[in-house]
Amino acid sequence: MARISKAASPAIDASMLRNPVVFVVDMVNGFVKEGALADPAIAQIASPIRELIEKTSARVWFINDNHTKDAAEFASFPVHCLKGSEEAKVIDELADVKGNTLYKNCISAAASPQFGEMLDSLGQEPCDLIVTGCCTDLCILQLALPLQSWINQKNRKDTRVIVLEDCVETYHIGGVHDAEFWNEAALANMAANGITIASFVK
C-alpha cells in the first residue's frame, strides 16, 4: 500500500475489470534494491502487483528506465538505471512475469518511441488500463495522464485508467521528498483528471 494517511479508496475486484492490461512501472532494482534512488519500502508492492496479474490474467507491459550514460535527466536526478546495468533489471520478485517491455530514457513513458506501438497493441475492445509500480508522483503520474488523454482524444468511453493504491509507491527522503505527501498529491491529481483511484480486493 502506498504510504498515505487518508482512508483507502473504494475497492475493486477482478470481476469488475474488463479485459485488463497491467502496466508495471519501474519495478527495477534501481528503485527498489540498489542505487541512489532506491527505497526498499517500494518492495512491499511487488506481491500485490503479482497477485493482481495472476487473479486477472491480465496482459502485462513492463515500463522500465533504461538510461544512456549522457541522459539529460541526470541534470535533475542522480545517475540511475543505466542501460545494461543491474539497476535496470526488473526485480527478482517479478522477473518471471511474462509481458512486453517499453524502455524509456526519461520519466515519461509517453516520450518513448514505443509508446504508439504500445497503444496500438491495446486494440479496439473495451479495456481497463491498470497502472502499478513507482514512483506515484513521477513515472506513474506521467504514464496515467497521457493514457487518460489518449482515451479522451479517441472518445473511448468504455476504457478506463485505474491506479490502485496498494500497487503504487514513491520513494522517501526525509526533508527532501516526503512519500506520504507526494503519494497523496499525485493520487489527488490523477483523480481530478478522471482517473479511477481504487484499492484491489485480494
Residue 49 forms part of a structural domain: yes
70 within a domain of the structure (yes/no): yes
Burial class (CB in 10 A: 0-12, 13-18, 19+), 18: exposed
Average pLDDT taken over every residue of the chain: 95
Report whether 194 contacts 46 (CB < 8 A): no
What is the rounded CA–CA span in Å between residue 19 and residue 159?
10
Considering the domain boundaries, does residue 5 fall inside one? Answer: no
Task: Please count the structural domains in the chain.
Answer: 1
Q: Tell me, what amino acid is at 78?
A: P
Instruction: With respect to residue 121, please indicate whether it lies within any of the assigned structural domains.
Output: yes
Per-residue pLDDT tens digits for 21-65 = 999 999 999 999 999 999 999 999 999 999 999 999 999 999 999
* Domain ranges, residue 76: 11-200
pTM for the full predicted model: 0.95
Q: Is residue 63, in this structure, part of any structural domain at all? A: yes
Q: Does the residue 189 lie in any domain? A: yes
Q: Is residue 186 part of a domain?
A: yes
CATH of the domain at 77: 3.40.50.850
- Please report whether residue 4 resides in a domain: no
Alpha-carbon span 78 to 74, nearest angstrom: 6
